[in-house]
Amino acid sequence: MIRLLRTEFARCFTGKLFWLVVLFNVVLASSFNVLTYATTKSGDFSNVFTDKTLYIGLISMGLTAAVFVAFHAGSEFDEGTIRNKLIAGNTKTGIYICDLAVCSAALIIIQYLYFFIAYAFSYILFGALHHSFSVMMQLQLIGALGTVAVTAFMLMITMIVRSRTIAVTVCMIAAIVFFIACVAIINELEEHSMELLDAGPEIISAEKYAVLDKYSYVYGVDSENLFGTELAVKEFFYDSLLQSQALRFSDERSLPYHWEFMVIYNIAITLVTTLIGVVSFRRLDLK
């Protein structure tokens, strides 16, 4: 498997795909700050905080992972090169884990590259940021786990579908649907919080109210419009979806409330999707 890993890393970093995605992210990372700079009247820079732009890389990681994984892993099926690996004696599990390792590594590199370029442009052009650097690095670390989770999910789809075109279509649609779902869930939970803020002690206890006041959100408290399983499911997605995590990172000035759950969910998603992916891939016939 070490030989396979080495070969796969070489294929990844010498191929056009990785560098194209890097270029795209470099342009993305620089363009938001440059555009803001160009359209802000001089003298007003001190009032400009571009923290949100630091997390756009994570917000768009779903789409980036969809394209990268589908093209990197999916092409092997279209071109038939996956057969060479099997014929050379590698197991399907080994091939799957290698692909996961390589795609995760590449996407984490892209994630950090985006962050440092955006940070550099923000700092140079505008100077100040709300978040401290150490908080940002902690958030990026949680984000990296999220990146691995998203990669694992996209890889599962790709290896089950076994076609580059269908994989990229399904993965990109999934990324867009998750993004829309994130925005809708965040809005709904914000409204839910507002309701709780105005609610009396019969709805929310004093302890929970204190948490709500401190963190702008409290988990597991039913309101008139949102309760029970629906609330639990939405809170699960609120913590587990990478786009939701990234949107929360950009809004808050310290580690977000419930960040430990984000870490646990990211690891759990990685393990579950990898297990499903490996089991399915082992059973499926290759042409």
Among 34, 86, 173, 284, binds other proteins (CB under 8 A): 173
Of residues 70 and 204, the one with the C-beta less far from other proteins: 70
Enter the DSSP assignment of 40: S
Round to whole Å and give the CA distance between 258 and 124.
32
**Binding status of residue 207 toward other proteins by CB under 8 A:** no
Binding region for other proteins (CB under 8 A) out of 108-116, 170-178, 194-202, 258-266? 170-178
**Binding status of residue 40 toward other proteins by CB under 8 A:** yes
Do the beta carbons of residue 148 and residue 104 sit within 8 Å?
yes
**Binding status of residue 181 toward other proteins by CB under 8 A:** no
* Subset of residues 57 to 76 that bind other proteins, contact rule: CB under 8 A: 63, 67, 70-71, 74
Binding region for other proteins (CB under 8 A) out of 107-115, 137-145, 160-168, 243-251? 160-168
Round to whole Å and give the CA distance between 270 and 168.
19
Helix residue spans in the chain (DSSP H):
2-14, 16-39, 56-59, 61-79, 81-87, 92-126, 133-161, 164-197, 206-215, 228-240, 242-251, 259-283
Round to whole Å and give the CA distance between 101 and 70.
15
Binding region for other proteins (CB under 8 A) out of 147-155, 166-174, 204-212, 275-283? 166-174
Among 128, 137, 176, 210, binds other proteins (CB under 8 A): 176
Instruction: Tell me how far, at minimum, the Cβ of 28 lies from other proteins, in Å.
Output: 10
Radius of gyration of the chain (CA): 21
Enter the DSSP assignment of 163: -
Name residue 49's amino acid.
F
Instruction: Tell me how far, at minimum, the Cβ of 165 lies from other proteins, in Å.
Output: 4
Round to whole Å and give the CA distance between 209 and 251.
21
**Binding status of residue 46 toward other proteins by CB under 8 A:** no
Do the beta carbons of residue 8 and residue 99 sit within 8 Å?
yes
**Binding status of residue 98 toward other proteins by CB under 8 A:** no
Of residues 9 and 37, the one with the C-beta less far from other proteins: 37
Do the beta carbons of residue 266 and residue 146 sit within 8 Å?
yes
* Count of residues engaged in binding other proteins, rule: CB under 8 A: 19
Count CB atoms within 10 A of the CB of residue 64.
25
Binding region for other proteins (CB under 8 A) out of 8-16, 39-47, 134-142, 245-253? 39-47
Among 90, 93, 138, 169, binds other proteins (CB under 8 A): 169
- Contacting residues toward other proteins, per CB under 8 A: 35, 39-41, 44, 47, 63, 67, 70-71, 74, 164-165, 167-169, 172-173, 176
